[in-house]
């Protein structure tokens, strides 16, 4: 059997989950000589000390520990684990997962070169059911988890089939990940998975899901906290609301980068489209909604808009990052390109001129959200009218290939993770 590097990230308040995952690894891996890598991004429960006690239980357990006062974040720490891995095959698991019997055997059965392989999740009914998963409740907390019943369910419901979907946990050849640069670290709270999937597919890889490698997933433990579903837990609900706001920011970053949202079916074109905007009404919400669909927004004379929004505040609040620490360590993340307003004269290859008051829901749905497609389908160079909108195309350059490989900032030597 080929050896796999299993990569697991963990953070505060996740030790009970991690212990349960480790029990399942010990019980259910068919081959015992795989590499197990755990990245401790933050800790308040003695996770590092507990992991040291597990080294004698596993053939090759390695612990990576973030020494900084701020978390690296899961986009960054997944990248670091995959780079650190010693085997050709890497498999990512979240700490709030439990694997089923012979999990590694089924991964290797279905994994092929140039393939991104997702396992199938079994989740409690906290989200809407979906065709890509089983919805069965074996427990909402690790100490209440029905371990034996879960394993029996897996034995009875394992299916020798594959479908086309992508989500964690996922497995691939290490070079597939490294060839595109891994996760884009500008995505700090979500959408990093959709972004990396776009790039994996555009790089010529195939995404499949096996229904034989099954995992239980407690869901949202890292992003929203253990009690996120408890409506009577006020602090948990405050965090849920913050995460929802963070999700919207990450979606705007995604649209800014790709022009449209997609998860697994990326369009194979992207054009830099600029706006020349007359702000003839005071509507910052409308302005905020349309801005991500343009590379630059040029403002007509006399316009005043807020151009110094800090889109990192909510993510920092969720991660308990103080302002002084953010100033010191923000270099770890790629910068986003939101909020690009300019009062200079546009010199754009593709320019859309319009009044802010011309934007309504119908126009937003039919035009703004479809700008990439409209430009792609327009064969001619010149000026065109679309209702009250003027479209000028001087040159069309499809730059989608420039988006496949991402380069993240290097970690300074003094800030590197510790290895045990």
322-351: per-residue pLDDT in tens?
999 999 999 999 999 898 888 888 999 999
Planar angle of CA 84, 89, 93, nearest 5 degrees? 75
Give the global pTM. Answer: 0.94
Span 61-87, mean pLDDT? Answer: 97
Q: Would you say residue 87 has pLDDT above 90? A: yes
Q: What pLDDT is stored for residue 379 in this prediction?
A: 85
> Reduced to 3 states, what is the DSSP secondary structure of residue 419?
strand
Sketch the domain layout of the chain as residue ranges: 4-226+408-419, 256-402
285-324: per-residue pLDDT in tens?
899 999 999 999 999 877 777 765 789 999 999 999 999 9
At 390, give phi and psi (nearest 5°): -105, 125
> Reduced to 3 states, what is the DSSP secondary structure of residue 416?
coil
Asked if 224 contacts 239 with a C-beta cutoff of 8 angstroms, the reply is yes
pLDDT band at 211 (very low <50, low <70, confident <90, very high): very high
Distance of alpha carbon 16 from alpha carbon 22, whole angstroms? 10
Q: What pLDDT is stored for residue 70 in this prediction?
A: 96
What dihedral do alpha carbons 345, 346, 347, 352 form, nearest 10°? -150
CA atoms within 13 A on the CB side of 323: 2
Would you tell me the crossing angle of helices 192-202 and 234-258 to the nearest 10 degrees? 30
Q: How many CB atoms lie within 10 A of CB 149?
A: 12
The pair of structure tokens assigned to 287 is 């302005």
Q: Which CATH superfamily is domain 4-226+408-419 in?
A: Spore Coat Polysaccharide Biosynthesis Protein SpsA; Chain A (3.90.550.10)
Pairing of strands 97-99, 162-163: unpaired
Q: What pLDDT is stored for residue 307 in this prediction?
A: 60
137-184: per-residue pLDDT in tens?
999 999 999 999 999 999 999 999 999 999 999 999 999 999 999 999
Asked if 124 contacts 137 with a C-beta cutoff of 8 angstroms, the reply is yes
pLDDT band at 232 (very low <50, low <70, confident <90, very high): confident
Handedness of CA 188, 191, 193, 194 (dihedral sign): negative
Residue that the structure tokens 């997944």 belong to: 78
User: Is the model more confident about 386 or about 35?
Assistant: 35
Q: Would you say residue 186 has pLDDT above 70? A: yes
Asked if 407 contacts 181 with a C-beta cutoff of 8 angstroms, the reply is yes
Asked if 89 contacts 173 with a C-beta cutoff of 8 angstroms, the reply is yes
């Amino acid at each position: 059997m080929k050896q796999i590097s299993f990569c697991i990230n963990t953070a505060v308040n996740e030790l009970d989950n991690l212990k349960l995952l480790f029990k399942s690894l010990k019980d259910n891996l068919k081959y015992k000589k795989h590499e197990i890598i755990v990245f401790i991004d933050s800790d308040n429960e003695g996770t590092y000390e507990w992991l040291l006690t597990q080294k004698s239980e596993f053939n090759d357990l390695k612990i990576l520990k973030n020494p900084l006062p701020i978390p690296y974040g899961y986009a960054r720490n997944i990248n670091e684990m995959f780079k650190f891995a010693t085997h050709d095959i890497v498999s990512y698991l979240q700490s709030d997962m439990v694997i089923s019997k012979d999990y590694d055997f089924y991964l290797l059965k279905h994994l092929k070169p140039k393939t991104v392989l997702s396992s199938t999740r079994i989740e409690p009914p906290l989200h809407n059911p979906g065709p890509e998963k089983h919805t069965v409740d074996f427990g909402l907390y690790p100490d209440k988890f029905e371990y034996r019943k879960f394993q029996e369910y897996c034995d009875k419901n394992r299916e020798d089939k594959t479908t086309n979907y992508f989500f964690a946990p996922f497995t691939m050849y290490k070079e597939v990940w490294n060839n595109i640069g891994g996760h884009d670290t500008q995505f700090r709270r979500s959408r990093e998975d959709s972004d990396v999937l776009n790039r994996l597919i555009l790089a010529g890889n195939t995404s499949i899901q096996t229904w034989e490698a099954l995992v239980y997933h407690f869901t949202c433990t890292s992003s929203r906290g253990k009690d996120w579903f408890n409506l009577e837990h006020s602090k948990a609900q405050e965090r849920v609301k913050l995460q929802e706001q963070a999700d919207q920011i990450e979606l705007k970053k995604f649209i800014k980068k790709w022009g449209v949202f997609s998860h697994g079916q990326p369009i194979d074109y992207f054009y830099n489209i600029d706006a020349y905007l007359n702000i003839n009404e005071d509507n910052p919400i409308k302005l905020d909604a349309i801005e991500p669909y343009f590379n630059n927004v040029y403002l007509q004379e006399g316009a005043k808009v807020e151009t110094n929004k800090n889109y990192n505040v909510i993510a920092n609040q969720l991660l308990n990052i103080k302002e002084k620490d953010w100033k010191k360590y923000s270099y770890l993340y790629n910068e986003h390109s939101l909020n690009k307003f300019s009062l200079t004269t546009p010199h754009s290859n593709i320019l859309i001129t319009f009044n802010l008051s011309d934007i309504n829901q119908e126009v937003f749905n039919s035009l703004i959200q479809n700008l990439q497609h409209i430009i792609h389908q327009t064969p001619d160079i010149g000026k065109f009218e679309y209702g009250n909108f003027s479209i000028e195309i001087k040159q069309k350059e499809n730059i989608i290939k420039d988006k496949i490989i991402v380069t993240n900032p290097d970690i300074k030597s003094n800030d590197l993770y510790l290895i045990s």
